A and B are shown apart, each in its own frame.
Chain A
C-alpha cells in the first residue's frame, strides 16, 4: 500500500474514535450540559464491547452493548446534573474517575487479549477500486461510514433544520426563555446528555472493536479529553466536530507512521503530538481573531443548571 493511502486510512480509523465521542459531547453541550465524564464513559464502553464480543463473538452486539452501557450511565449522570442539578464539573470528573477505575477493575480478565471478533472492512464496490483514495475512504468498516457520514449529517439536520433542534439549542442558550415558550428544559437536557453519553461509550466500543482492537488499562489514553476539546475547536457544530476529529486522526497516524518508518524522534514524543496539538488548537484560534472567537463561543447556558424560580 502506498504511504499516502496508509496514512489516510489510519487517520480515518483513528479519527473515528474522537469523532463519535465528540458528536456525543456536542449533543450534551448544545443542550447546556458539559459532560467531563467522556473519558470514563469511553473506558466503560470499551470494556463492555470487549466483554460482549468475548461472550457472543458478534461485534455488532458488542457495539450495541457499549451504547447501552453509555445510555444507562448517562442517565445516571443526567439524573445528577439535570434533575438534581448538582455541579456538572464535579459530576463529570467523578464519572471519569469512576468509569476509568471500574473499567480497569472489570476489564482485568480481558486485558491484553485481542478482541475475538472485530469490525472488518466493508469495501464499497467500484469506489474502493479508485487509486489512492479508494482503499482509504471506501474500504473501511461499517462504523466509519456511520460516524463520518450518517450521524453528523443526521445530527446537523435535526439540530439546525427542525423544531426539536431549535428547542434543543434554545435550552442550551437560554433555558428560561425556552421554558417560557413551553419547552420542557429538563426533558431535553436529560435525553441530550444521556444520548450523548451513549455515543461517548460507543466510541469506547469502536476503540476496542474496530481500532486497537483489544482492551488494556489506559487504552482510552486521554481520547475522551481530546474529544471534549474538539467540541470547542469545532465551534459546537457536529459536522465540524467530525472534520476536527479527522485532523486529529491524521496527527495520531503521523505518530504511527513515524514509529513504523524509524523517524529520528522518540516514539514518546510522537505520542505527545495529539495532546499538544489539541492545546494549540483551542488556544490559537482564540488568539487569531475576535470573529473566530465569537464563532467558537459556547452555548450561553453551558454548565449552568437551570432553576425555574431563579430566573
Chain B
C-alpha cells in the first residue's frame, strides 16, 4: 500500500498559492541564513525593516512611491504573458518612456495645462516604440521576443546615461549626471505619493476587466493559451499579439513617465531601480491574474524598500536583486511541485 506521487496536468489553485507562499518564506529564510553567515543579525534587520516600513507614515509613503512603478512594469509583463509573450524588456521600455517624457518636459514648449498630457503620451509612445522591433520580429518571423526585448534594455540604459551626462546635462550644473529639473509634475495624491499610484491601480483593473470580459480579451487569452486553436477558430492572433505587445511596452513606458514626472523630476542614469526586472517577478507572482499584479507589486515594493532601508547595514540594491532571484527560483520549483499529489492506491481486489 505504498503512497506515490501523481502528476496532474494543472495545479489546483490552493496548492499553487500555498507553494508560492512557501517559496517566498523559504527564500527569505535562505537569505536570512546567508546574512547570518556573513555576520549580520537577520532578526534585528527584520525588526528594523518592519519598524521603518510600517511604523510611520513616511515609511508607507516610501512603499507607495516604489509600488507605483512596480505595478506598471508588473502589469506590462503580465499583459504580454497573457498572450504568451515574454517581455523581458520592461526595463528598457521604462527607460525609453522616461527618456521621451524628459525630452518633452524639457524641450517642448506648449501651454502648461497641455504639458502633462503630452509627457504622458510621450512616455507611453516611447515604451511602445522601444518594443516595436521585437514585436514585429515575433509576429511576422517568430523570432523569440525574449532575447530581443532584453538586449534593447542595454541600449536604452546607454541612451539615457548618455543624454543625461552629455547633451541634456543640467546647464545649471547643480547635479552631476542628470538633466535639469522638469517643471511639470504629477500632483500629489497622498503625501509624497503622487497620482500615479491610483492611476496604476485603475489601469490594472481596466486591463483585468478587458481581458476577462471582452471578446478582444478572450481572443488574447486563447491566442496565448493555444495559438493553433486560436488560428483555427479564425481569431486574428497576429493582430492581437502586436497590439498586446505594444500595449505592454506602452505600460512600461508609463512607468518611466510617472517616475520622471512624479518622483524624480529629472532624467538620470540609474533612474529605473531595476523596476523592469522586478516587474517580471511581479508578473510571475501574479500568475496570470491582473489583481495578483497589485499584490505582487506590494510585496516587491516592501522587499525593495527593505533593501533601501538596510543600505546603512552594508546591503544594497544588488542584495535585493539576489533575494528576488531566490524567490523566483523557489517559485518556479514550487509551481512545478504543486502539480503533484500524494495518492494512496488501493490494492487491487483479487
Contacts and interface: CB of A to CB of B under 8 A. Distances in A.
Given A101-B321, A222-B154, A90 B332 contact: yes
Contact of B162 (A91, A266, A293): A266
B322 A225 contact: no
Contacts of A266: 162, 166
Interface string B266-280: 000000000001001
Contacts, number: 140
Interface in B138-159: 141-144, 146-148, 150-155, 158-159
Interface stretch (A9-17, A126-134, A176-184, A280-288): A280-288
Given A93-B88, A97-B328, A101-B324, A85 B336 contact: yes
A225 B147 contact: yes
Q: Could you say which of B141, B150, B284, B320 has the most chain A C-beta atoms within 10 Å of its C-beta?
A: B150
Interface in A92-125: 93-105, 108
B151 A97 contact: no
B17 to A, nearest CB: 17
B19 to A, nearest CB: 11
Interface string B311-347: 0000110111111111111011101110000000000
Interface in A78-95: 80, 84-87, 89-91, 93-95
A40 B154 contact: no
Nearest to A96: B325
B133 interface: yes
Q: Could you say which of A268, A287, A309 has the most chain B C-beta atoms within 10 Å of its C-beta?
A: A268
B166 A278 contact: no
Nearest to B151: A275
Contacts of B161: 268
B333 A86 contact: yes
B29 interface: no
Contacts of A108: 316
Contact of B137 (A86, A87, A283): A283
Contact of B328 (A84, A93, A226, A307): A93
Contacts of A283: 133, 137, 141, 143, 148
A206 to B, nearest CB: 20
B192 to A, nearest CB: 27
B257 interface: no
A108 B311 CA distance: 13
A225 B92 CA distance: 14
B325 A87 contact: no
B7 interface: yes
B155 A275 contact: yes
Contacts of A90: 284, 328-329, 331-332, 335
B152 A94 contact: no
A217 interface: yes
Contact of A282 (B147, B159, B162, B315): B147
A272 interface: yes
B86 interface: yes
Interface residues of B, number: 48
A85 B340 CA distance: 12
A221 interface: yes
Contact of A278 (B144, B151, B277): B151
Interface in B79-122: 86, 88
Contacts of A186: none
Nearest to B277: A97
A81 to B, nearest CB: 8
Contacts of B324: 97, 101
A55 interface: no
Q: Is the interface of A mostly helix, strand, loop or mixed?
A: helix
Q: Could you say which of A89, A96, A97, A228 has the most chain B C-beta atoms within 10 Å of its C-beta?
A: A97
A90 B280 CA distance: 9
Contacts of A198: none
Contacts of A229: 147, 151
Contacts of A99: 325
A85 B318 CA distance: 28
A221 B329 CA distance: 22
A90 B328 CA distance: 7
B337 A271 contact: no
A1 interface: no
Contacts of B88: 93
B332 A101 contact: no
Given A93-B88, A279-B152, A80 B332 contact: yes
A271 B154 CA distance: 9
A149 B326 CA distance: 37
A307 B281 CA distance: 27
Contacts of A94: 325-329, 331-332
A225 B150 CA distance: 8
A260 interface: no
A232 interface: yes
Given A286-B141, A287-B141, A275 B154 contact: yes
Interface in B1-48: 7
Interface string A8-51: 00000000000000000000000000001000100000000000
3 smallest beta-carbon distances between A and B, as pairs: A101-B322, A98-B325, A97-B325
Given A268-B159, A272-B154, A282-B148, 13 more contacts: A87-B332, A87-B336, A90-B332, A90-B335, A93-B328, A99-B325, A100-B321, A101-B321, A222-B151, A226-B151, A278-B151, A279-B151, A293-B141
Interface of A: 36, 40, 80, 84-87, 89-91, 93-105, 108, 217, 221-222, 225-226, 228-229, 232, 266, 268-269, 271-272, 275-276, 278-279, 282-283, 286-287, 293, 307, 309
Interface of B: 7, 86, 88, 133-134, 137, 141-144, 146-148, 150-155, 158-159, 161-162, 166, 277, 280-281, 284, 315-316, 318-329, 331-333, 335-337
11 contacts: A36-B146, A80-B332, A87-B335, A97-B321, A100-B321, A101-B318, A268-B159, A268-B166, A278-B147, A286-B141, A307-B7
